[in-house]
Amino acid sequence: MLGERLAARHLEERGYVILKRNFRFGHREIDLIVRRGDLVAFVEVKTRAGHGYGHPLEAITALKRREVERVARHWLQRHGRTGFRYRFDAVGVALQRGAEPLIEHIPNAWLLGE
């Protein structure tokens, strides 16, 4: 949750509006759905404390991407609009003891079906 809050603040500081946090469809969810202009991004956030488990973005596996895509399709059926662009983003949050967290935003991190 801390990582998602940090990611949301990071994106808001860059002009994104948070449309939804933790949008669920069944047992799956999208961490953040954000908008800037005519762009809507479905954002997966991964957080790590320390380096023992690798870089946070390495945890976004093909299975996780497919799950996010399924939830995004459901969101689009309910809320999608013509004239908008949609993409999948990733945000990695590395928490560091005694230092500011490192936040890395990857726009268009993957394409549908990758």
pLDDT band at 112 (very low <50, low <70, confident <90, very high): confident
Output the pLDDT for position 96: 87
Ordered domains of the chain (ranges, CATH): 2-110 (3.40.1350.10)
Q: Are 40 and 84 in contact (CB under 8 A)?
A: yes
Which residues are paired to 30 by β-bridges? 23
Which residues are paired to 42 by β-bridges? 33, 88
Q: What is the mean pLDDT of residues 96-110?
A: 94
As a whole-number percent, the residues of the chain with pLDDT over 90 amount to: 87
Give yes or no for residue 61 having a pLDDT over 80.
yes
CA 40 – CA 19 distance, rounded (Å): 9
Counting other chains too, the contacts that 32-38 makes at CB distance below 8 Å and 24 or more residues apart are 32/4, 32/7, 32/8, 32/91, 33/75, 34/89, 38/83, 38/84, 38/85
